[in-house]
Amino acid sequence: MARTSILVLSALLLTLLAACGTKPAAKKGAGAKSPAVAHAVRDGETHLKNLRQITFGGENAEAYWSFAEDRLIFQATRAPYTADQIYVMAPDGSDTKLLSGGVGRTTCAYFMPGDKRILYASTYLAGKEPPPKPAYDRSLGYVWPIFNAYDIFTANADGSDVQPLIQSAGYDAEATVSPKGDKIVFTSTRDGDLDLYSCDIDGSNVKRLTDAPGYDGGAFFNWDGSKIVWRAPDRDSVDVEETKALLKRQLVRPSKLEIWIMDADGSNKKMVTKNGAANFGPFWHPDGKRIIFSSNMHDPRGGNFELYLVDVGTSKTERVTHFERTRPGARRSDDFDGFPMFTRDGKRLVFCSNRENEKPNETNVFVADWVD
């Protein structure tokens, strides 16, 4: 859940998102077929064309391609559920199906190699009801809950046969799979901090990859499985005592996170950005030289998140989306583009956005053709 659900994320920077929530628009209907709707790209969005909206209403987040790239798995809060559940759909938004059991909170879903099974994190072993969100504490400011009840499970692609894969006494979530199909990377508090770990595809051979104080999460392998990108603070800015105190309360402060890369074995760590903003949701471009990610770097005290490309060699950064308040009366919470993922050939991009929403804070899934 720290890979963020959108309604949560945007409560932060005066804005926008969380873990995904509200009922889909009645004209579309929950679970009904909803063919894609075309929208114009904004001025300056030269990398995008043929933009299509494929979900309609509510909070929809973290949509990721299957290995065959013929389905998208994502999380959303939809009636009758009060917390995120896992869904699957076709790339045009049709054939949407609930995969998780509607129990507890679920997050961070991904396809397993061959697309016959999926993985996701869930709190369901701790009880049917979702763990409650922590009450807002003005003295803490914006924080994310990191529920210790999260463990990582696999299931058949239709949601049946749920089996535990990765478990510990603390938080286990944010798992993604190497495109090679041999490894998983995930975030865990098993050693007392929020660190990254890898394991074999069957959950064995767990290896700790990070050990510096502070939150490490939202990791993805590059396309040949040799490197990992993730989000973490600039280590020089970490307040270790505050971090420990928050973690005891199952909380983390995400307002300043940078984009990092390392080899898949945990060596050769490098901070790619250094802008002091809230950078998250990084994903490798298939050329292996660039990373796309979401950031409020141009609005660091607010909640306008846009997509950017950064060159891993030079750290040169290019803005990709330009979705700032363009509608009369639009609110800061309407300005969000995040959770990007390319197809293997780099010709399509899926991401989540508040653009074209019918109500404030609604976040939907969009697919676009990519132009280099």
* Domain-embedded: residue 1: no
Band (139; pLDDT cuts 50, 70, 90): confident
The residue ranking higher by pLDDT, 231 or 237, is: 231
Q: Give the predicted TM-score (pTM) of the model.
A: 0.89
Per-residue b/e over 181-207, b at no fewer than 16 CB within 10 Å?
eebbbbbbbbeebbbbbbbebebeeee
Residue pLDDT, tens place only, 342-371: 999 999 999 999 998 888 778 999 999 999
How many alpha carbons lie under 13 Å from residue 261 in its C-beta half-sphere? Answer: 22
CB atoms within 10 A of CB 218: 29
* pLDDT number for residue 121: 98
Does residue 361 come out as left (phi exceeding 0), alpha (psi in the -120 to 50 range) or beta? left
Cα separations in angstroms, 324 against 47, 166, 277, 331, 369: 17, 40, 17, 10, 21
The CA distance from 223 to 91, in Å, is 21
Contact 166, 110 (CB under 8 A): no
Q: Which of 195, 153, 201 is nearest to 170 (CA)?
A: 195
| Most confident by average pLDDT, 130-134, 176-180, 329-333 | 176-180
Cα separations in angstroms, 93 against 71, 90, 131, 337: 9, 5, 30, 18
* pLDDT number for residue 330: 54
Expressed as residue numbers, the domain containing 83 is 6-370
Q: Does 201 have pLDDT greater than 90? A: yes
How many alpha carbons lie under 13 Å from residue 279 in its C-beta half-sphere? Answer: 31
* List of residues 6+ apart from 106 with CB closer than 8 A: 75, 83, 84, 85, 86, 100, 120, 121, 122, 123, 124
Beta bridge partners of 310: 291, 317
* Domain-embedded: residue 119: yes
Residue pLDDT, tens place only, 66-100: 999 999 999 999 889 999 999 999 999 999 999 99
Cα 154–5–142 angle (5° rounding)? 130
* Domain-embedded: residue 352: yes
* Domain-embedded: residue 10: yes
* Domain-embedded: residue 355: yes
* Domain-embedded: residue 273: yes
Total domains present in the chain: 1
Q: Does 167 have pLDDT greater than 90? A: yes
**Mean pLDDT value of segment 5-19:** 35
Tell me the CATH number at 41: 2.120.10.30
Residue pLDDT, tens place only, 257-309: 999 999 999 999 999 999 999 999 999 999 999 999 999 998 877 778 999 99
Pairing type for strands 317-319 and 306-311 reads: antiparallel
The CA distance from 325 to 134, in Å, is 30
Residue pLDDT, tens place only, 102-127: 999 999 999 999 999 999 999 999 99
Band (3; pLDDT cuts 50, 70, 90): very low
Three-state secondary-structure class, residue 173: strand
